[in-house]
Structure 1
Amino acid sequence: MIDELLFLGTGAAQAVPAIYSRGLDASRPDGARADKNLRTRSAFRLGRGHQIDAGPDYYMQSARERMSWFDLEHLFITHTHSDHFNFDGVLQKDISVENNGKPVTIHMSAPALRWFLSVWCYSRTLESPSNRDLDEARESFRPWFEFNVLPFFEWRTVGEIAVCGVPGTHTGRVPDDLAMNLLMELPDGFRMLYGLDTGYYDDETFSFLASTKLDMVVLDCTFGGRTDRGEFPAGHLDCASLVHVVARLVELGTITSDTPVYASHINPDQGLDHDGLARRFASEPYNILPAYDGLRVKPRITGRP
């Protein structure tokens, strides 16, 4: 049963404050729960069995929230950038003396999986791998890890939930590794979109989203307070373009103006702290809130369109 959603991290690649910034000297890592301006790299937990992304802060996030990976069964990797997939850290179950004895299934796009296996092979031989090498590498992770390719625009059952990937407008380590945004439906019918690492969606994605109704949305807000990126940017959103996405989803009937929308994946250099983001969104006719590390949300089916 999934009765809680948890924002493990809400920062972009640099985290907040950035490591080379004096702002980190004044932050309170020992009181991270109380400091909404201390943001680790973005990750999201659905109950104890499902997680989206695992960047370099995965251990600190789990320790802070007292939520180990003992019961983790499914890990969704949205794309190959290291703030979302720290594979050297993730792939340690085989050396963990205490574990549940079950495999973790890692779900990602086909280009993302091929990139990962290619890098894994090359790091061991310093030679370009063949297709056979990639297949053997994939098999070598068993029995501790399985890899599953998620296609775009197709619903699949994954553990307790139904999942459908939709493409963002952001690419990972290789040009065809489009960031996978995730539609997720819980057993009780609650449905949400986790949409980080995207700019303004293209028409195909909006058309697909028009066919569903959502109870909650999480959207990219990397560039927050910046106003120099155009009205409909690709790659990442800012406050203004996030509002444009929300307005379009309301227009399509996917959400209402009251549907909770959480802004995440925040950059340290965009000019607004947590309270500043909250004030910025309070001026809009939508229910948009900045997320923060450690935020827990009870999934609730809302008044859908």
Structure 2
Amino acid sequence: MDGDRRRRELLAGVTGLTVLGGAGCLDREGDGPPGEWRLVLEETWETFDTDRWAVGFIDREDWIPDDDATVSADHVAVEDGRCVLTIESDGTGPDGCKQGVINSSVGGEQWHPETGVPIDPEPATYVEARLKLPGRVGILPAFWMHPADMTWPPEIDIVELFQRDPSRAETERRTLSVDVHWSDSGKPGDRDTHRHDPTSIETEIDLTTTFNVYGCAWYRDRIEWYFNDRRVHTVHSSSAMLESLTHEDARPFGLILSNHVNRIGRADLTEPWTERLVCDWLRVWERT
């Protein structure tokens, strides 16, 4: 059976993708990236596999700017075959705000997993996850990847949900954002020449009340983003972006599922509340 057909049949059997409707929106599910792909990782969260995953960002937590929450292992759990990252305010301010974050870095630091999940554009890699995102102004959930050794930039954001404005909450929760970061010098880690290319996509679906599949196909010459198995955006690599993303000092990448609190928008930390980012499954495919 060819890989493309196998991938479609596997997805059809397990995901129950949402069909979008309405003029000008994504009105049907697609088939994902074309060609033959080999499944190299299927994370169905029977347990929290510490060979693959660790609690925390790829970077040291004290390198993470503008975050009013502290990463907590107690806020990462596997429940009913899903990974749940909880964000919790106890009402006492930033010191009382905790969040779950996980990474798959192969960087070898104590906050990285034993083995990790390396992501590389050669061969092309397709990463996808079925997620329900937390819905609260001031929380920035993200599924993203950057070099496993903590070099930055580059970075690829598979999905981010910006929740800035209470008066626009309904619109914001229907809008997925994607991005790629690089250095114009082509040198990984050169923050002085940092560039990025953000794009927002209106889905007409509340991403905080439904599960949806977010995917990214990373080829050497381009990056493609997918929503519910349909391509929604493509960036073709400039010479600087290509050099930055594929430089030997930047590879491989690692995956991150995370939340930030009060980096964008303001969540009220004087009140107790709880939100959750839920990952139903996550898969990594390689082009054959």
| TM, length-normalised to structure 1 | 0.28
Structure whose alpha-carbon radius of gyration is higher: 1
Higher relative contact order, chain-length normalized (CA < 8 Å, sep 6+): 2
Please identify which structure carries the higher strand content.
Answer: 2
